[in-house]
């Protein structure tokens, strides 16, 4: 066995905590030793009590009150504080051998996109021999029109590129769509890039047509369009997501996890 982490990311309100609770229930039902790790210093309440909780180290409320920070600066401060006190995390994680952690992350996209904070947290976990899979949630409403879809995919892609860990995209809140709407959305699960660009262009000013084609090309080149639909009321869709995550984590395979790459050890063509 080994040490496994699902890092659950996504914009605010995308359903991360609900996803984590769904995964906890599912994993417990199939007999896995699973723990919730709350990485959001502003979190309020959970369906499952987190076993590891950043709020035991620092809370956003205290930082805002004592240092007069706003919510965004305060959040960055809290996560940097965690990185500067990583021995606290090492102590907390030391006990979890042969376990499966589900990390509920904050929803501020800048943590994954233009600050290296989440990347550094991943590097710390990798040094502690955890295998990590990023699970990026996007609400089903995001793919009701092409421009929203592009924005969502680009945010997922940005997290993928900045973290460099195995990455899975999940389309959450599928239960909110009626059956007809769900069928309509199926074309987004593995879409034809040319069709996607053409559709986007029919409703947009010609000034943006080349840009749309370039975005679709980029999405296609990085094979980032695939989303796994998740309906929390449908056991099959939950099983499908967990089996993708297991594959990405090589769950249960008896082999040493790869050492993390050195920060500057990236080869460019």
Ligand X SMILES: Nc1nc2c(ncn2[C@@H]2O[C@H](COP(=O)(O)OP(=O)(O)OP(=O)(O)O)[C@@H](O)[C@H]2O)c(=O)[nH]1
Structure tokens at 247: 């594959």
Contact 228, 170 (CB under 8 A): yes
User: In the block, which residue shows the tokens 């030391």?
Assistant: 94
Q: Which residue is nearest to ligand X (CB)?
A: 107
**Minimum gap (Å) between residue 108 Cβ and ligand X:** 8
Kindly report the number of other CB atoms within 10 A of residue 90's CB atom: 12
In this complex, which beta carbon is closest to ligand X, that of residue 13 or of residue 71?
13
In this complex, which beta carbon is closest to ligand X, that of residue 172 or of residue 201?
172
Window of 16-24, 114-122, 209-217, 220-228 that interacts with ligand X by CB under 6 A: 16-24
> Is residue 117 helix, strand or coil?
helix
In this complex, which beta carbon is closest to ligand X, that of residue 105 or of residue 197?
105
To 5 degrees, how large is the angle CA 202–CA 207–CA 213?
A: 60
Contact 189, 226 (CB under 8 A): yes
- Residues 152-191 as x/- pattern, contact with ligand X by CB under 6 A: --------------------xx-xx---------------
Of 251, 245, 257, 246, whose CA–CA distance to 168 is shortest? 245
Number of amino acids touching ligand X (CB under 6 A):
14
Q: Is 220 in the site for ligand X (CB under 6 A)?
A: no
Residue ranges in the chain assigned as alpha helix (H): 16-29, 60-67, 71-84, 86-94, 110-113, 117-127, 146-163, 179-189, 193-202, 209-221, 235-249
Window of 9-17, 90-98, 117-125, 247-255 that interacts with ligand X by CB under 6 A: 9-17
- Residues 68-107 as x/- pattern, contact with ligand X by CB under 6 A: ---------------------------------------x
Structure tokens at 2: 């080994």
Window of 11-19, 28-36, 161-169, 213-221 that interacts with ligand X by CB under 6 A: 11-19
The residue within the footprint of ligand X, chosen from 12, 30, 180, 266 (CB under 6 A), is 12
Kindly report the number of other CB atoms within 10 A of residue 185's CB atom: 18
Q: Is 55 in the site for ligand X (CB under 6 A)?
A: no
The residue within the footprint of ligand X, chosen from 17, 38, 126, 146 (CB under 6 A), is 17
Half-sphere exposure of 112 (CA within 13 A, CB side): 26
**Minimum gap (Å) between residue 18 Cβ and ligand X:** 3
The dihedral sign for the CA sequence 117, 39, 97, 33? negative
Q: Is 14 in the site for ligand X (CB under 6 A)?
A: yes
Footprint of ligand X on 229-248 (CB under 6 A)? 232
Q: Which residues bind ligand X (CB under 6 A)?
A: 10, 12-18, 107, 172-173, 175-176, 232
């Amino acid at each position: 066995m080994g040490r496994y982490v699902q890092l659950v990311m996504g914009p605010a309100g995308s359903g991360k905590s609900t996803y984590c609770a769904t995964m906890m229930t599912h994993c417990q039902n199939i007999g896995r030793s699973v723990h919730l790790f709350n990485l959001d210093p502003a979190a309020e309440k959970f369906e499952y009590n987190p076993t590891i909780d950043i709020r035991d180290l620092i809370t956003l409320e205290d930082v805002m009150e004592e240092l007069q920070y706003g919510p965004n600066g305060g959040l960055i401060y809290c996560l940097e504080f965690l990185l500067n006190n990583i021995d606290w995390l090492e102590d907390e994680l030391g006990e979890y051998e042969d376990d499966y952690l589900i990390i509920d992350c904050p929803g501020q996209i800048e943590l994954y996109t233009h600050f290296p904070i989440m990347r550094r947290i991943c590097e710390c976990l990798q040094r502690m021999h955890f295998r990590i899979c990023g699970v990026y949630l996007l609400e089903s409403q995001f793919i009701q029109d092409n421009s929203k879809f592009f924005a969502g995919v680009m945010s997922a892609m940005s997290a993928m590129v900045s973290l460099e860990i195995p990455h899975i995209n999940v389309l959450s809140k599928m239960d909110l769509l009626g059956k007809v709407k769900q069928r309509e959305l199926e074309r987004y699960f593995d879409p034809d890039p040319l069709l996607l660009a053409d559709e986007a262009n029919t409703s947009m000013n010609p000034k943006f047509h080349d840009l749309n084609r370039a975005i679709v090309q980029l999405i296609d080149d990085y094979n980032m369009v695939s989303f796994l639909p998740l309906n929390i009321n449908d056991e099959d869709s939950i099983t499908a997501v967990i089996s993708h995550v297991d594959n990405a984590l090589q769950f249960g395979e008896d082999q040493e996890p790869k050492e993390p790459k050195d920060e500057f050890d990236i080869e460019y063509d």
